[in-house]
């Protein structure tokens, strides 16, 4: 097993499979707790819930003093349902308000808004004088583990380009400015980070407004591959801490440091458990087909992401023989392949020889796994299981066909 988790061991996984059948997601709350503790030097941790938005995960975050970010009306609803106080604990981050109904909800619940466009200032200000806001700045350059996750520069739609333009509205509508936010993209490179911090300092010096917080955004990476290094949290903190101190000296009041990770907190806590249902040779290539598809886990297809794969033999024997195999799912799509690389869609893994009925486990799928899954090919959503205090419990039921069809029964 890849995860350094006492809970995600074969014996335990088999017990869970026996009770709930495959396919399913499993999360180990001990790992989430450990990652929260790794970030304790930050004044405030805010979970970017889009990475894993199950309300039981949100409740766990809340119990551990982690605040929450919401990027949609649905995510606001989830956070409230999980017990978060809208006024104190939730920040809504977006580049637009999708509807006037959403603005009214945000105003009536007094939810702080992390503003990503000048239009938002005008739309919010008209309805709510003195509303609490953050400004999300586009630093005019970006970085991401993939072009699709780059969140800065001209090639990104995120954040405000010219912060000076916000001043007019801040005065007009008496907004209370909480802080300045920069989320640069997923996967942090420390050379790039120094540029980001420099930009943060420059921006705040030129802007000359009182603030209480700066936010580092998220983007902290995790070791998806076995030989990858762990993210250096201390290094990350120290660079930001220096930045905070410079800004604090300039502004003349203490500045608090907020961090806003998604992936870092939950990715390694989760696995996706599937079962081998078909093994076939196509010419020289071997395909092992399992009972999950990219409607469950889309990262390999969307970003050519790597997920470590391990296996559990059905009859618990140890398989000695290693074999190259492509791992695919049941979708009626040629691209429904989990073992893709950046260069090749049909690539393989070297795995112990698999037989029908064996289990295939996709590791580090706690972030952008279940939260990105869909009903494509009319496949119902699969269950989520949480391990907490040495016990496991179901935190999302398997969707039934009836539930899947319900909305269309007009």
Ligand X SMILES: *Cc1c(COP(=O)(O)O)cnc(C)c1O
Catalytic residues: 332
Q: What DSSP element (H or E) covers 271?
A: strand 270-282
CB of 153 to ligand X, least distance (A): 16
Does residue 220 belong to the site contacting ligand X (CB under 6 A)? yes
- The residue (of 16 and 160) whose beta carbon lies closer to ligand X is 160
- The residue (of 152 and 218) whose beta carbon lies closer to ligand X is 218
Alpha-carbon span 30 to 5, nearest angstrom: 8
CB of 74 to ligand X, least distance (A): 15
Cβ-contact 257, 44 below 8 angstroms: yes
Helices 73-81 and 100-109 meet at what angle, rounded to 10?
Answer: 30
Q: What is the CA radius of gyration of the chain?
A: 23
Secondary structure E strands in 225-353: 256-259, 270-282, 285-290, 309-312, 322-328, 349-352
Alpha-carbon span 271 to 5, nearest angstrom: 11
- The residue (of 148 and 245) whose beta carbon lies closer to ligand X is 148
CA 397 to chain centre: 21
Alpha-carbon span 330 to 353, nearest angstrom: 20
How many CB atoms are located within 10 Å of the residue 44 CB? 16
CB of 266 to ligand X, least distance (A): 8
β-strand partners of 24: 273
Residues 186-205 that bind ligand X (CB under 6 A): 186
Alpha-carbon span 190 to 188, nearest angstrom: 6
Does residue 95 belong to the site contacting ligand X (CB under 6 A)? no
CB of 151 to ligand X, least distance (A): 7
Only one of the segments 3-11, 45-53, 315-323, 377-385 lies at the binding site for ligand X (rule: CB under 6 A); that segment is 45-53
Does residue 112 belong to the site contacting ligand X (CB under 6 A)? no
Residues 243-302 that bind ligand X (CB under 6 A): 260-264
Only one of the segments 7-15, 197-205, 217-225, 272-280 lies at the binding site for ligand X (rule: CB under 6 A); that segment is 217-225
Does residue 48 belong to the site contacting ligand X (CB under 6 A)? yes
Alpha-carbon span 111 to 71, nearest angstrom: 12
CB of 355 to ligand X, least distance (A): 36
> By rule CB under 6 A, what count of residues binds ligand X?
18
- The residue (of 84 and 359) whose beta carbon lies closer to ligand X is 84
Catalog residues that contact ligand X under the rule CB under 6 A.
48, 50-51, 69, 71, 93, 183, 186, 217-220, 260-264, 367
């Amino acid at each position: 097993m890849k995860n350094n988790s006492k809970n995600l061991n074969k014996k335990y996984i088999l017990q869970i499979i026996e009770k709930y059948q495959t396919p399913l997601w499993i999360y180990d709350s001990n790992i989430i707790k450990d990652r929260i503790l790794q970030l304790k030097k930050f004044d405030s941790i805010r979970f970017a819930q889009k990475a894993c938005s199950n309300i039981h995960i949100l409740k766990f975050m809340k119990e551990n003093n982690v605040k929450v970010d919401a990027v949609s009306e649905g995510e606001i609803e989830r956070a409230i349902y999980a017990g978060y106080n809208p006024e104190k604990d939730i920040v809504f981050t977006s580049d637009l308000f999708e509807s006037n109904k959403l603005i009214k909800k945000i105003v009536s619940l007094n939810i702080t808004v992390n503003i990503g466009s000048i239009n938002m200032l005008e739309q919010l200000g008209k309805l709510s004088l003195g509303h609490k806001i953050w400004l999300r700045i586009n630093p005019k350059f970006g970085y991401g583990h993939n072009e699709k996750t780059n969140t800065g520069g001209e090639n990104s739609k995120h954040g405000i380009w010219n912060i000076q333009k916000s001043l007019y509205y801040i005065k007009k509508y008496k907004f209370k400015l909480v802080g300045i936010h920069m989320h640069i993209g997923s996967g942090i490179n420390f050379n790039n980070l120094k540029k980001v911090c420099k930009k943060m300092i420059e921006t705040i010096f030129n802007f000359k407004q009182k603030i209480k917080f700066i936010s580092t955004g998220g983007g902290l990476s995790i070791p998806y591959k076995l030989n990858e290094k762990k993210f250096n949290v201390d290094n990350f903190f120290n660079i930001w801490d220096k930045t905070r101190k410079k800004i604090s000296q300039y502004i003349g009041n203490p500045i608090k440091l907020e961090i806003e990770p998604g992936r870092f907190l939950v990715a390694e806590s989760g696995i996706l458990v599937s079962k081998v249902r078909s093994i076939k040779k196509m010419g020289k290539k071997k395909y092992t087909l399992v009972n999950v598809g990219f409607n469950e886990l889309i990262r390999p297809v969307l970003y050519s992401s790597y997920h470590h794969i391990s296996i559990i033999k059905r009859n618990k024997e140890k398989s000695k023989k290693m074999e190259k195999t492509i791992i695919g799912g049941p979708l009626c799509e040629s691209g429904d392949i989990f073992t893709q690389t950046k260069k090749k869609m049909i690539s393989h893994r070297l795995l112990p020889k698999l037989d029908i009925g064996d289990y295939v486990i996709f590791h580090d799928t706690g972030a952008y796994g279940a939260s990105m899954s869909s009903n494509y090919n009319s496949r119902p959503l699969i269950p989520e299981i949480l391990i907490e205090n040495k016990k496991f419990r179901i935190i999302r039921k398997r969707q039934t066909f009836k539930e899947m069809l319900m909305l269309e029964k007009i």
